[in-house]
Chains A and B, each alone.
Chain A
Amino acid sequence: MSSLLQVDAISKRFGGVQAVSNVSFDVGQNEIYSLIGPNGAGKTTCFNLISGIFPLSEGRITFDGQDLGRVKTHQLAKLGIGRTFQNLAVFKHATVVQNILVGRHSHMETDLFSCLFFAPNARRHEKAHRHKVEEIIEFLEIEDIRMQPVGTLSYGLQKRVELGRALATEPKLLLLDEMVSGMNAEETEDIARFILDIKDELGISVLMVEHDMGIVMDISDRVCVLNFGEKIASGTPEEISKNTAVIEAYLGHSGGG
Chain B
Amino acid sequence: MRSGHFIESYDKLVNLTDNPVKMAWSWILVLVLALAPLVLDSFWTSICATVLITAIGIIGLNLLVGTTGQISLGHSGFLAVGAYATAILTMDYQVPGIIAILLSGFIAAFFGLIVGIPSLRLKGLYLAITTMAFAIIINHVILNAEDITRGSEGFIIDPLQVFGFSFESDASIYYLSLIILVLTVLGALNLMRSHIGRAWVGIRDHDIAAKVMGINLTTYKLLAFMVSAFFAGIAGSILAFQLQYINVDNFSLLLGIEALSMIIVGGLGSISGSIVGVIFIIFLNELVRITTGIFADDGGTMSLYIHEMKGLLYGVVIVLFLRFEPDGIMGKWRDIKNYWSNWPFHH
A-side interface residues toward B, CB under 8 Å? 51, 53, 72-78, 82-83, 85, 89-94, 98, 101-106, 108, 110, 112, 115-118, 122-123, 126-127, 130-131, 165, 169
A115 lies within 8 A of B195 (CB): yes
B190 lies within 8 A of A75 (CB): no
A102 lies within 8 A of B187 (CB): no
**Which residues does chain A contribute within 8 Å of B209, judged by CB atoms?**
85, 89-91
Q: How far is the CA of A106 from the CA of B215 in the complex (A)?
A: 7
Chain B residue, CB-CB nearest to A131: B10
A126 lies within 8 A of B193 (CB): yes
Interface of B is mostly: helix
**Which residues does chain A contribute within 8 Å of B223, judged by CB atoms?**
112
Whether B21 sits at the interface, judged by CB under 8 Å, is no
Within 8 A of A (CB), among B204-219: 204-206, 208-217
Chain A residue, CB-CB nearest to B7: A147
Sorted nearest first, the 8 A-B pairs with minimum C-beta distance are A106-B214, A77-B214, A115-B194, A91-B205, A89-B209, A127-B10, A118-B190, A108-B195
Q: How far is the CA of A122 from the CA of B195 in the complex (A)?
A: 9
Q: How far is the CA of A112 from the CA of B200 in the complex (A)?
A: 13
Distance from A110 Cβ to chain B, minimum over Cβ atoms (Å): 7
**Which residues does chain B contribute within 8 Å of A105, judged by CB atoms?**
195, 198-199, 202, 213-215
Please give 4 more A-B residue pairs, beta carbons under 8 A apart, in addition to A93-B204, A127-B11.
A76-B212, A105-B215, A112-B227, A127-B10
A102 lies within 8 A of B198 (CB): yes
Q: Which of B14, B187, B191, B214 contacts A78 (CB 8 A)?
A: B214
Distance from A212 Cβ to chain B, minimum over Cβ atoms (Å): 23
A98 lies within 8 A of B217 (CB): no
**Which residues does chain B contribute within 8 Å of A73, judged by CB atoms?**
211-212
Whether B201 sits at the interface, judged by CB under 8 Å, is yes
Within 8 A of A (CB), among B174-210: 187, 190-191, 193-196, 198-199, 201-202, 204-206, 208-210
Chain B residue, CB-CB nearest to A119: B190
Chain B residue, CB-CB nearest to A168: B213
Please judge, given known A-B contacts A73-B212, A76-B212, whether A126 and B202 are in contact too, CB under 8 Å.
Answer: no
A75 lies within 8 A of B214 (CB): yes
**Which residues does chain B contribute within 8 Å of A77, judged by CB atoms?**
212-214
B194 lies within 8 A of A118 (CB): yes
Please judge, given known A-B contacts A90-B206, A116-B190, whether A76 and B214 are in contact too, CB under 8 Å.
Answer: yes
